[in-house]
Structure 1
Amino acid sequence: MAELRTLARPYAKAAFKAAQEHEQLAEWSQVLTIAGQVTANKSIRQLLANPGLEEQKKAELILEVAEDGVTEQVRNFFAVLAENRRLTLLPEISALFNTYRADLERTVDIEVTAAFELTDEQQQKLAQALSTKLERKVSLAASMDKSLIGGAIIRTGDLVIDASVRGKLTKLADALGS
């Protein structure tokens, strides 16, 4: 996985720079997200691996799915990907592009898994506290998992805050076991 990210990084940076220069971050993000989802599909991956199909034709097929927001710069970007046989990197390119965009716009998506259903008021308070702590605009998605017993687990990117009873019991058991 890390090597795919390494291969995708220069393409994601180039796409991000082009989108910034033309003030089209949202459009590029939409096209790359759709293209990333399409190319992550197992059937599409098999199609992309077909040596009998021209690389440019593969790029055109992917772009047909993401009709809206396909500018000449986007078409050129996909042509370069096709020429270098890198269309299969689109899921990683999309993820990196969206990370760069979130960094620029100072936003973050956070997943909260709680042992009980969070009320709207609790979600707002949590989002506000996290926004202050992370110094970013927070978009919160909450879910419930009764196996946590109590508390919650908060995830964003590579940051995980485990404030669940199950997590604390696991830590206690590990400490007693060693």
Structure 2
Amino acid sequence: MSSRAAIRYAKAILQQANEAQVGNVLFGDMQSVYQTIEGSKELRVVLNSPVIKPDDKKNALLTIFKGQSAATHNLIKLLVLNKRTSLLGNVAKSYIDLYNDEKGVKVAEVTTAVALSSELEAKVLAKVKELTGSDNVTLNNTIDESIIGGFVLRVGDLQYDASIANKLDNIKREFTKSL
């Protein structure tokens, strides 16, 4: 869940990127930034730490993301200047969401117990396209072994839970009601 401040930063950089016609470049950068921050607990600790000096955070981030565009570097510098480095991951996620909304891309989140085969992924993608009425759909597959089997599909605010864990919970509730 992104904070209002992160959304404001994301809207501002999206507007700048669109004016400079580099929205798609910044989209790639923000995906990389988000994935890097989500994948590194140590980086999240550094970004949130009040002990680490802002200049050290800035140098670390600029080194980590040295292959990114000037717009991404400017965002990092701005967040450091405003003492908002902890928002970087949320800003990146908000930018990705705003960019997808602007381009009409529907993002479907599928959680499965095992990785989807390419054949099954194509079927899920076709079903999501049918449900949303959009030909522009992206599918993100997350693996969560705790659902045991089946899948959980999220598209926007809609969720369909066809997981074995959910069905077992429903059976458990029915048994406890009848006692």
Pairwise same-fold verdict (TM > 0.5): yes
Match of 1:122 in 2: 120
Q: Distance in 2 between matches of 1:67 and 1:39?
A: 15
8 Å CA contact 1:39, 1:88 repeated in 2: no
Q: CA deviation at 1:128?
A: 0.7
- CA RMSD, 1 decimal: 3.3
8 Å CA contact 2:110, 2:151 repeated in 1: no
Q: Distance in 2 between matches of 1:85 and 1:96?
A: 19
Once the two structures are superposed, residues 47-86 of structure 1 have per-residue CA deviations (whole angstroms, 9 ceiling, x without a partner) of 5536573x35533431232223422x44433332122101
Q: CA deviation at 1:45?
A: 4.8
Equivalent residue letter for 1:155: R
| Residue segments in structure 2 that go unaligned for 5+ positions in a row | none
Task: Indicate how the Cα distance of structure 1 residues 31 and 64 shifts in structure 2: closer, same or farther if over 3 A, else same.
Answer: farther
Q: CA deviation at 1:169?
A: 3.5
Q: Distance in 1 between matches of 2:98 and 2:112?
A: 25
Match of 2:161 in 1: 162
Equivalent residue letter for 2:129: S
Name the stretch that deviates more: 164-173 or 85-94: 164-173
Residue 15 of structure 2 corresponds to residue 17 of structure 1: yes
Q: Distance in 2 between matches of 1:85 and 1:74?
A: 16
Q: How does 1:1-178 map to 2 (within 5 A)?
A: 5-37=3-35, 41-45=40-44, 47-48=46-47, 49=49, 53=53, 55=54, 58-71=57-70, 73-105=71-103, 106-113=105-112, 119-136=117-134, 137-140=136-139, 141=141, 145=145, 148=148, 151-156=150-155, 159-178=158-177
Pairs aligned (count): 172
8 Å CA contact 1:63, 1:70 repeated in 2: no
| Residue segments in structure 1 that go unaligned for 5+ positions in a row | none
Q: Distance in 1 between matches of 2:33 and 2:157?
A: 24
Q: Distance in 2 between matches of 1:16 and 1:52?
A: 29
Q: CA deviation at 1:156?
A: 4.5
Q: Distance in 2 between matches of 1:101 and 1:134?
A: 18
8 Å CA contact 1:35, 1:62 repeated in 2: no
